[in-house]
């Protein structure tokens, strides 16, 4: 079974544009997405967004906004002036914050998809119960946040592949799921906790899988991507 490159989002988790550009060169010719996160955006500014767009990549700007509704709305208006295709907030910021973010996104020229982060893929049920003081299991929390996100105008959620079936069953097939926590069976989990292999993520019905270190940390990232697309990573 092969995997479509259009369902792959590669995390450009680097401190500088020059590091990220080296990876983009390796990925050229494949219609994969790239994800610009906090390290690169805070470290080197929005230049990478323009550079990746010029090279034909679609862009997920992963800054996970979480603040009072007014601040998130204004920040989102500024971010949506960039040529981005996907952007996100934390669902824990609440319905009013997500509605204001959604308003800003929908009235922008770039009009990216808006996602809400539910529970991070590095969070376990135990951590959620003890540290966040949210009772129950993690799936219940993810479903609650996903419902709130849909009602508040988001186009989808970020969750682990394990939660895709319950999100899709409850909220419909067209509600997007973007899933980090992708690990080849042979590899270390690093800080991720709720993980699957790439093929399992596809079988569970995810729309997009986010993958970082298994590609960016590989000796030969292009070969690792080719293995991923063949379903053999
Ligand atoms: O290297 P790795 O494959 O773990 O990278 C996953 C990427 O997805 C990181 O950039 C991380 O910030 C991001 N992410 C995540 N879990 C979420 C949301 C985003 O791991 N819930």
Q: Whose CA is nearest to atom 10 of ligand 1?
A: 11
Which tens digits make up the pLDDT trace of 170-226?
Answer: 999 999 999 999 998 766 777 778 889 999 999 999 999 999 999 999 999 999 999
- Determine the residue of 159, 210, 228 to mutate for testing ligand 1's pocket, defined as the one with the most ligand atoms within 8 A of the Cβ atom: 210
Question: Is residue 211 within 6 Å of ligand 1 at its C-beta?
Answer: yes
Q: Whose CA is nearest to atom 3 of ligand 1?
A: 212
Element (H, E) at 126: helix 125-131
Question: Is residue 192 within 6 Å of ligand 1 at its C-beta?
Answer: yes
Mean pLDDT across the stretch 12-16? 96
Question: Is residue 180 within 6 Å of ligand 1 at its C-beta?
Answer: yes
| Residue 121 in this model has a pLDDT that exceeds 80 | yes
Contact 228, 3 (CB under 8 A): yes
User: What is the 211 CA–ligand 1 centroid distance (Å)?
Assistant: 7
* Residue 187 pLDDT: 66
How many residues are recorded in the chain?
233
Return the active site residues.
Answer: 64
User: What is the 10 CA–ligand 1 centroid distance (Å)?
Assistant: 10
The pTM of this model reads: 0.95
CA-118 nearest atom, ligand 1: 21
**Percent above pLDDT 70 for the chain:** 99
List Cα–Cα distances, 206 to 125, 133, 198, 212, 228, in angstroms.
21, 29, 10, 17, 15
How many CA atoms lie less than 13 Å away from 170 in the CB half-sphere? 20
Question: Is residue 228 within 6 Å of ligand 1 at its C-beta?
Answer: no
């Amino acid at each position: 079974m092969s995997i479509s490159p259009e369902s792959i989002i590669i995390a450009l988790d680097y401190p500088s544009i020059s590091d990220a550009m080296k990876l983009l060169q390796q990925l050229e010719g494949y219609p994969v997405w790239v994800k610009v996160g906090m390290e690169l955006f805070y470290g080197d500014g929005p230049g990478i967004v323009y550079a990746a767009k010029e090279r034909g990549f679609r862009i997920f700007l992963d800054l996970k906004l979480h603040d009072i509704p007014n601040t998130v709305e204004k920040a989102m208006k500024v971010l949506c002036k960039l040529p981005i295709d996907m952007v996100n907030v934390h669902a824990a910021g609440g319905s009013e914050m997500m509605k204001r973010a959604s308003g800003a996104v929908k009235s922008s020229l770039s009009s990216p998809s808006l996602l809400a982060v539910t529970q991070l893929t590095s969070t376990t049920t135990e951590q959620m119960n003890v540290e966040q003081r949210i009772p129950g299991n993690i799936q219940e929390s993810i479903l609650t946040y996903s419902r709130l996100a849909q009602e508040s105008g988001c186009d989808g959620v970020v969750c682990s592949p394990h939660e895709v079936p319950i999100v899709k069953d409850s909220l419909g097939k067209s509600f997007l799921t973007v899933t980090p926590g992708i690990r080849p069976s042979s590899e270390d989990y690093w800080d991720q906790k709720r993980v699957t292999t790439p093929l399992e993520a596809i079988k569970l019905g995810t729309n997009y899988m986010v993958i970082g270190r298994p590609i960016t940390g590989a000796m030969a990232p292009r070969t690792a991507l080719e293995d991923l697309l063949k379903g053999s990573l």
